[in-house]
Amino acid sequence: MTKSVKKRVLYNLNFLKSIGYNYHEIIEINNKELSSDSLPNNFNELKSLVENCYLCELSKSRKHALFGEGNQNASLMLITDEPTATEDELKSHYAGKNGEQLTKMIENVLPLKKEDIYITSLVKCKSLNGMNASHFSSCNAYLFKEIELVNPKLIVTLGEKAYNFLCSDVVPFNQIRGQFINYKTYSVLPTFSVSYLLRNPSSKKEAYYDMLKIKSTLESN
């Protein structure tokens, strides 16, 4: 951005402010990464920041920034890797075939409705060619703040990438899937992504056993 363009942008921002427009408080950004400590302790304010975020290239490929949804005091938190094209289009984590399958997994096995849980993703925008470590580095403070605010009893990561990026763990997924892992002060259970199960229905039996473990944990004191 040239100095002349910056000058015009600042002039327009100052003009808008002078006629009553308000802006978010300044967020400190180091190396293009947010700090979860600098983010608001309020879901509505956090959602507004996410929906107006342009920190990485994923903002160019999205139609919507998809914030978490569900019970903000949930005992169970689900984390996917990134929004699908349908979720991006309809701005919902339960859109399309993935959403239908996930709803069945929740409501047919767990003692919960989908509205009882909180679901979010590693990154909030759909990628064109798959999310990578740099995308997560730019976006992860939003996720960490969501986890902090919800403070769930159990986190379930859906898919290899969701687990590996969240927990910074490179253990092969087939060795870790279905096992309870300690992450900070939380208990995490990695299981298959919904898209994987739709492509590989033979794995649904293993996923069902994972869901039974989740159910048992939620029902325990």
Q: What are the domain boundaries of the chain?
A: 25-219
Q: What percent of the chain stands above pLDDT 70?
A: 83
Predicted pLDDT at 29: 37
Mean pLDDT of 194-207: 95
Give the pTM.
0.82
What is the mean pLDDT of the segment spanning 189-199? 96
Cβ–Cβ under 8 Å, residues 80 and 166: no
Average pLDDT of the chain, as a whole number: 86
**Three-state secondary structure call for residue 33:** strand
146 has a pLDDT exceeding 70:
yes
How does residue 221 score in pLDDT terms, banded at 50, 70 and 90? low
Question: How many Cα atoms sit within 13 Å of 41 on the Cβ side?
Answer: 3
Average pLDDT estimate for 83-101: 92
Whole-angstrom distance, CA of residue 20 vs CA of residue 133: 39
Give the C-alpha separation, 120 to 146, whole Å.
Answer: 8
CA distance 159 to 190: 7
Taking residues 134-163, what's their average pLDDT?
A: 94
| Protein fold of 25-219 | Uracil-DNA Glycosylase, subunit E (3.40.470)
Helix residue ranges, H only, 43-159: 43-51, 58-61, 85-90, 96-109, 133-150
d(CA 135, CA 171): 21
pLDDT at 22 over 70: no
Report the C-alpha gap between 101 and 200 in whole angstroms: 13
Residue 30 pLDDT: 39
35 pLDDT exceeds 90?
no
Q: The tokens of 135 are what?
A: 């995308």
